[in-house]
């Protein structure tokens, strides 16, 4: 089997509104998700699908262009079963652009799974759990709005909610307090600063003020490369510290471990450059005694399916994960929706990723001015 053709389609998918307005966090407001859809055709007739997901500066249109101009030519004519070799080829061809590489590698896993008539999770070592417990993020709003939203998600079955912070001390602390009061003490409350605090001293002071509300984890308090400062925060507070944007691959995970900068690592398929590197991060952290969870961009259904396959196969999955990116969107492009219910994601049934694309929705979402 060889790869004959690769198509990268930039798309815009609508996000859900929250509180009757646009979803907003420390990374900004989001009306739409600009992602990309990958189709890899083989000479055997098998077509693999993948998703490029990014909320950072390089998004759908630019990442799809990098696929067309740089990454796809490195894969055409190759055997799709040689995933590790092809990942290395892509890394040699282009620095960065991990979400684009992840979308391509996702489609390779889909091809191999379809060819072998087995789900992707079996290609990652096999199932160690049948479902993934989920966290759900609470975007910026008034403290009262955020508390009501958190209580709603708990009623839907989520046992972990994540409060987005990073605006100002008063608003952040008030939001955490109100959410805790609304969800009770039995539900885990997570805090995500999305790199929003300026210094270790500021972060330590604010976290100390929030500790009385029993947060489970504080996520990414400072910018990605401030690992020594994040380690300083970790030593100064009692709440476990999780890094997210600091880890874009296995080498980053090694540096986080070396600096003592995390109690937990948040792993993304897109940020890692694919399922293979994401699984390597899980294994590296496991050797260091650091649990991992799975984060979300958020993805559409294809990317969410890849996250679920990863999560059910990883032995080092710890805290509840964000493997439900599709829930943050007003609609999806899969022909059959993923099974996500009562605070759990379940792997799709079928070979490969186990999902297929609705062509009408794909055409409607396509960015046509490319």
Same domain, 191 and 115: no
The secondary structure of residue 256, as a DSSP letter, is H
Same domain, 128 and 109: no
d(CA 244, CA 31): 23
* Residue 181 belongs to a domain: yes
Cβ contact 317:132 at 8 Å: yes
* Residue 370 belongs to a domain: no
Same domain, 115 and 130: no
d(CA 24, CA 29): 4
d(CA 213, CA 62): 42
Strand partners, 6: 40
* Residue 350 belongs to a domain: no
Cβ contact 42:3 at 8 Å: yes
Number of separate domains in the chain: 2
Residue 207's pLDDT is 97
Same domain, 133 and 111: no
Same domain, 95 and 151: no
The secondary structure of residue 211, as a DSSP letter, is G
Candidates 59, 55, 208, 211; CA nearest to 139 is 55
d(CA 199, CA 65): 37
- CATH at 105: 3.30.390.10
Which residue range forms the structural domain that includes residue 266?
123-345
Same domain, 104 and 193: no
Same domain, 305 and 218: yes
d(CA 42, CA 128): 31
CA angle 138, 156, 50 (to 5 degrees): 70
Q: Tell me if residue 38 falls in helix, strand or coil.
A: strand
Cis peptide, bond prior to residue 298, ω within 30 of zero: yes
Same domain, 328 and 223: yes
* Residue 354 belongs to a domain: no
d(CA 129, CA 176): 31
Cβ contact 140:25 at 8 Å: yes
Same domain, 68 and 209: no
Same domain, 149 and 135: yes
* Residue 282 belongs to a domain: yes
d(CA 161, CA 153): 8
- CATH at 207: 3.20.20.120
Same domain, 216 and 289: yes
d(CA 275, CA 277): 6
* Residue 147 belongs to a domain: yes
Q: For residue 100, how far is the Cα from the chain centroid?
A: 14
Same domain, 174 and 284: yes
* Residue 355 belongs to a domain: no
Cβ contact 16:330 at 8 Å: yes
Question: 3-class secondary structure for 126-178?
Answer: CCCCCCEEEEEEECCCCHHHHHHHHHHHHHCCCCEEEEECCCCHHHHHHHHHH
Structure tokens at 94: 């282009």
Binned average pLDDT, 10 residues per bin, the chain of 370 residues: 98 92 73 95 98 88 96 98 98 95 98 98 98 95 96 96 93 96 97 92 96 97 96 97 95 97 97 97 98 96 98 97 95 97 96 98 88
* Residue 351 belongs to a domain: no
């Amino acid at each position: 089997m060889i790869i004959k053709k690769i198509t990268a389609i930039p798309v815009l998918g609508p996000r859900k509104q929250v509180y009757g307005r646009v979803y907003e966090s420390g990374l900004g407001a989001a009306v739409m998700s600009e992602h990309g859809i990958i189709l890899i055709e083989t000479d055997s007739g098998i077509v693999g699908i993948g998703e490029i997901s990014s909320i950072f500066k390089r998004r759908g249109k630019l990442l799809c262009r990098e696929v067309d101009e740089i990454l796809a030519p490195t894969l055409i004519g190759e055997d799709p079963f040689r995933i590790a070799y092809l990942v290395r080829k892509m890394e040699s061809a282009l620095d960065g652009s991990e979400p684009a590489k992840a979308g391509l590698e996702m489609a390779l896993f889909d091809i191999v799974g379809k060819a072998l008539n087995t789900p992707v999770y079996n290609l990652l070592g096999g199932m160690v759990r049948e479902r993934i417990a989920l966290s759900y993020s609470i975007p910026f709003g008034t403290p009262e709005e955020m508390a009501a939203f958190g209580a709603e998600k708990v009623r839907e079955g989520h046992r972990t909610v994540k409060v987005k912070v990073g605006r100002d001390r008063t608003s952040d602390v008030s939001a955490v307090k109100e959410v805790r009061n609304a969800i009770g003490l039995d539900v885990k409350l997570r805090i995500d600063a999305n790199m929003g605090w300026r210094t270790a001293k500021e972060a330590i002071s604010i976290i100390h003020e929030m500790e009385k509300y029993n947060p489970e984890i504080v996520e990414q308090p400072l910018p990605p490369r401030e690992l020594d400062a994040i380690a300083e925060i970790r030593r100064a507070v009692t709440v476990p510290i999780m890094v997210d944007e600091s880890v874009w691959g296995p080498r980053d995970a090694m540096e986080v471990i070396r600096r003592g900068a995390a109690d937990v690592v948040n792993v993304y398929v897109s940020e890692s450059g694919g399922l293979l590197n994401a699984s390597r991060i899980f294994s590296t952290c496991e050797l260091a005694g650091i649990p991992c969870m799975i984060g979300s961009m958020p993805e559409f259904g294809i990317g969410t399916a890849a996250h679920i396959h990863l999560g059910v196969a990883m032995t080092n999955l710890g805290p509840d994960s964000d493997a439900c990116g599709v829930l943050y969107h007003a609609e999806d492009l899969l022909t059959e929706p993923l099974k996500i219910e009562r605070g759990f994601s379940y792997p799709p049934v079928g070979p490969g990723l186990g999902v297929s694309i609705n062509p009408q929705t794909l055409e409607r979402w396509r960015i046509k001015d490319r």
